[in-house]
Structure 1
Amino acid sequence: MIAFLNGCVAAKRTASALIDVNGVGYEVGMSARSLALLPQAPQQVLVHTHLQVRDDSWQLFGFMDSDEKECFERLITVSGVGAKVALAALSTYSPAQLAHHVAQQDVAAIQRIPGVGKKGASRIVLELKGSLVASDDDEAATVPAAPDSSHALATEALLSMGFTSAECELALKGAPEEAAEAALIQYALKRLGTDGA
């Protein structure tokens, strides 16, 4: 098991990063959140990892903190939730926010995750309730709920336009926290160079 990588950022891609560890390049799939936190090449970085071994492939997934890794590993135990959906969940919500929504059985909030329908959201709540632990300061996890809902809806809209989760995250970075969904989409499109055209 590869538990972490300690090396230099070689490159960032839309949904993954290349980490150079002593001359060996590891490609790690990452959430938009982790990609946004990843330093620019060629800076040194420690990335927590999860190795998924299948008959036809080995895939490495990377996380900028252990909470996100643990949350990812919990998510992929849910029936019907694969690595792609788990990364989408962590691109939409922080681990603390996701834990809060699961604890509150907020199926509607879980449905905002790209690729998750009502049945999938219900399964996530049912199978993870009690196993996802929010941070000690529950208020800290719940205060950003309203802005993040707008951010999540804006992200979903941008994804439906064909942008990647990483592009969405970077385009929305620095957006006004209290902005409505429509304003966030306009802000992101300007940063992406489309101006909504």
Structure 2
Amino acid sequence: MIGKLKGTIEEIGEDYVLVDVHGVCYVAYCSARTLSKLGSVGEACILFIETYVREDQIRLFGFMTALEREWFNIVQTVQGVGAKVALALLSTLTPAELANAIALQDRAAVSRAPGVGPKVAMRIVTELKNKAPAFAGDAANIQLKQELGEGVASAPVADAVSALTNLGYSRDQAANAIAAAIKAAGEGADSAKLIRLGLKELSR
């Protein structure tokens, strides 16, 4: 069983990377996100590996982090989700974004992944809802995102999140930053203070 590869990038394909480890080349199938973070041909790389052994083949799947590999396995416990869909999910969402989407029962976010229709998205958020909180953001962060999604967040909070998204940050980044700002400033802080603290959080 191969758990990790440390070698040199020999070739990068559409959905795989060829890694040379002391003269032996391994093909590892990866998410688009992982492939985008790899260096160029000839550069060193380290991949966490999940090995699939079938009667007619052995396949390696490579990941930048152990957490990404863990989510690759977790989502495949859902009926109708195989390796291809799991990689599509991790190409579309980071592990943290996927965990938050499941914790918030956000089927729309999950269904953005190619090959994930409404029924599969429903099964993913339903069947994994008890596993997601261990990986998602803290309770305050999740609560804030729920309030934003339901349109019940306070005006200063909603304004602060809107201001950060207008600056080019994703809604998830903005919500995470403002959740941290609320922790630092307290519940009664005005939007200007939340924006300032949110930007400070994002600059770290």
Common fold: TM-score over 0.5: yes
Aligned to 1:114: 114
The 1:85/1:24 distance shift into structure 2, 3 A limit, reads: same
Deviation at 1:93, TM superposition (A): 0.4
Alignment of 1:67 with 2:67, yes or no, is: yes
The aligned length equals 147
Query: Structure 1 counterpart of 2:6, which letter?
Result: N
Aligned to 2:91: 91
Runs ≥4 residues deviating over 4 A: 135-140, 142-145
Aligned to 1:42: 42
Normalized against structure 2, the TM-score is what? 0.67
The CA deviation string for residues 19-72 of structure 1, in whole angstroms up to 9 with x for no partner, is 001101100000010001011121111100000111222110000111111111
Q: Secondary structure at the match of 1:51?
A: strand
Q: Distance in 1 between matches of 2:141 and 2:106?
A: 16
Higher radius of gyration, 1 or 2: 2
The 1:6/1:100 distance shift into structure 2, 3 A limit, reads: same
Q: Secondary structure at the match of 1:125?
A: helix
Unpaired segments ≥5 residues, structure 2: 146-160, 162-168, 174-204
Aligned to 1:156: none
Q: Report percent identity of matched pairs.
A: 44
Give the root-mean-square deviation of aligned CA atoms. 2.2
The CA deviation string for residues 134-172 of structure 1, in whole angstroms up to 9 with x for no partner, is 2559759x7865489xxxxxxxxxxxxxxxxxxxxxxxx
The 1:24/1:128 distance shift into structure 2, 3 A limit, reads: same
Q: Secondary structure at the match of 2:114?
A: coil
Unpaired segments ≥5 residues, structure 1: 149-197
Query: Structure 2 counterpart of 1:94, which letter?
Result: T
Q: Distance in 2 between matches of 1:109 and 1:80?
A: 18
The 1:18/1:118 distance shift into structure 2, 3 A limit, reads: same
